[in-house]
Chains A and B, each alone.
Chain A
C-alpha cells in the first residue's frame, strides 16, 4: 500500500511537472505569435506610410506649373529722357546722378536738368590758360582784311562732364541736400570760367538767371565762394577743374564770327514714367 501510494505520488509529480512544462511551452508560443503579429502590423503600417509619402511627393512635383506669377511691375519713376531731347552726351551723367542715386526730388531734379540743357544747347567754352593768342590779319571772302584772334579752348560741356564724374565719389559723402547743392555749384564754377561761343552775354548774367527762384541759391553761392577762396572742404571741385584741363581735348577757336544769342529752352520737356 505504502509502495503504491509512493509510486502514485512520483507519477503524479512527474505528470504535474510535465503539465507545467506543457503550459510554459504553450505560453512561449503564444508570445512569439503575438510578437510576429505585431511586427507584421508594424511593417504594414510603415509600408502604408511610405506609400502615402510617395503619393504626396508625387503630387508636389507637378505643382510649380500651378504657381501664379505675382502681378508686380518694377517701380516706375518720373524721369526726363536725355536721348529724346538731344542731350545724348549727357545720358551717362544723367544716369550717374539721377538714376543711380534716385535724386528725383524736386526742385533739384528739374534744376539739374535745366543746367544740363543750358550747357548742352550752347557752345560755352573755357579758354585754355596755356594757349597762345595769335592775331591774324586775314582777307575774308569779301576781300576785306579782318583782324581776328585765335586761341585754343576747352568745351565747357566736356569740362563739366569730366568734373561731375570726378567729383561724384566725394560728393556722395555729404548728406543728400548738401551733395545736390555741391553738384549744382559745379555747373556754376565751370560757367563762371566760360565765355559763350559767339555771344556777348556775360556768364554772370546767365548764372543769375538760372539760379533765380531756386530756393537753394544762397547755399550754392556760398559753396561757390568757398571753392573760390580755396576752402579745404570743397577743394575737390577745384581739383576736378584742373584735372579736366589735363584730360579734355582742346579745340581751335577764332573770334571772327558773328555773335549769336544765348539759347535757353522756353518749355521744360515732359517727364516720362520709366523703370530703372
Chain B
C-alpha cells in the first residue's frame, strides 16, 4: 500500500474516510482504490468501498461491480462473451484477457497476472471489517469524485 498517496474525504455523516490506492499490477497501472473508515477507540478499520482504477480510468465505482470484475479475472478463460469487463482473446494459442474500456490502448492481462491480482484483492481485506461495505457502502458521484481528486491534486499531470 502506498501510504504516501493516502488522501481523505468525509461522508454524509461527517465521518472521515481514507482512500489508499493498492497496486494490483504496476506494469498495467491497475490499482484498487481502497476506501475505509478508521475507529481509533475500537481499533477497527471498516471498508466502505473498493474501486478499480486502470491508468486514468475509474473502471468500477461500486463494491458489487468491483467484485464482479475480480470474479471475471478469477474465471479467466472459463469466462465467456457475457463478461462485462474482460474479453477472452487468444494470441499464438495463448489465452489472454483484454480489458474492455474507453481508453485508446489495449490492455492485455495474462493468466498469472490475473491470478496475482485476484490474490492481492483478497489480501486487501485482511485486517479490515468487511460488513460495513455491504451495509453502508460509500457511493461516489462523478462530481464528488472529481472534487476529491482535485482537492488532492490528483488531476494534475
Which A residues have a C-beta under 8 Å from some C-beta of B? 128, 130-141, 145-148, 150-152, 250-254, 256
Contacts and interface: CB of A to CB of B under 8 A. Distances in A.
B149 to A, nearest CB: 6
Band of interface residues on B: 20 to 34
Given A128-B156, A252-B155, A254-B145, 16 more contacts: A130-B156, A132-B56, A132-B155, A132-B156, A134-B146, A136-B58, A137-B58, A137-B59, A139-B139, A145-B61, A147-B102, A150-B142, A150-B145, A150-B149, A150-B150, A250-B150
B76 to A, nearest CB: 22
Nearest to B85: A137
A138 B58 contact: yes
B93 interface: no
20 contacts: A132-B56, A134-B58, A134-B155, A135-B101, A135-B102, A136-B58, A137-B61, A138-B61, A138-B142, A139-B65, A150-B150, A152-B150, A152-B155, A152-B156, A250-B150, A250-B155, A252-B149, A252-B150, A254-B145, A256-B143
B147 interface: yes
A150 to B, nearest CB: 4
Contacts of A152: 150, 155-156
B37 to A, nearest CB: 20
Contacts of B154: 132, 134
A151 B57 CA distance: 12
A132 B157 contact: yes
Contact of A131 (B141, B142, B145, B156): B156
Interface in B30-67: 56-62, 65
Contacts of A145: 61
Contacts of B102: 135, 147
B62 A139 contact: yes
Contact of B150 (A135, A137, A141, A251): A251
A149 to B, nearest CB: 9
A267 to B, nearest CB: 34
A139 B58 CA distance: 11
A265 B90 CA distance: 60
